[in-house]
Structure 1
């Protein structure tokens, strides 16, 4: 029942153009979901029935088939109520803000590491003034070992350990979290090593 109300002159239904804009918006939202890593996707309140479609869209790499799968995912997403889609959008916005803060903290950890290796005790004093909970002795030993590794062309074991210590120090503060045991997991260490390379 399209058209206008004879008495008020208002449209009786949403226009086709608006329907198309809404559909394209949901398609873009689906593309964002497909581009997320599994860890990021776990933080988004995606309904269980959409997860297999997202996984399938990630699996398919052929261009046209991927576009077709994204359209299929968007079709299923349009069946969800507006509150669910809004919750997904809000979580993605929060994730992007968190990701930006996390990346900034990791860059700061790299900067502090370079300062510690270059300036030694001066940089360490500045770091401790900003982060008094840092372990002075551990950092001093790691800096000394990293400098010796560089001088002898050895593998950068202590260099990486400095990064891990700084990462575990700076990241919780940047995200507004308290340091937890999960920050020192071996899995996290492997992730940060690959991120710094």
Structure 2
């Protein structure tokens, strides 16, 4: 976990803005590992393809289907078709495209300590927001009304992290300047983008260290 070293006064941070996948859910790598094993997909082939696509999505490596999926310019079904076409099973067989994303993330589980921390912060008067790059996920929206003051999902707004515009959109919705918000994400590119705008930021690697970082900022979690 990386936390900004110069912490503000306890009453300075007035909002918590958080990612979803990998922060409020169990780690992405764990879910992917379950899926790869269940469908006997060649893991090295998957990693090679996804490494190139993710690198492209973050600005070096050429156009990437990940970018289009996250900002909504590429339909989920087309992304699934493109990805399935790149994958093979361990014995060289095809991978089914339909429903691929739901299968990929089927092992996601909610991380209750993070949900409880957000509930506690909101009950204490802090504003809370979700800022998520969507992969066509089925979000647990039944939980959101009582958890967040604002929900920003990339494909629904046509922008994606680390684009400055999507951070500013989230800040507008919570009605606070960047300096009064802390952002939590498991991807370092997004953390860097938040800090560039003046937000406090925690690079999420484990629940305990993230909660420790929030408490170090004086937040009631």
TM-score range, shorter chain: under 0.3
TM-score (norm 1): 0.25
Higher helix share: 1
Higher strand share: 2
TM-score (norm 2): 0.23
Higher relative contact order (CA 8 A, sep 6+): 2
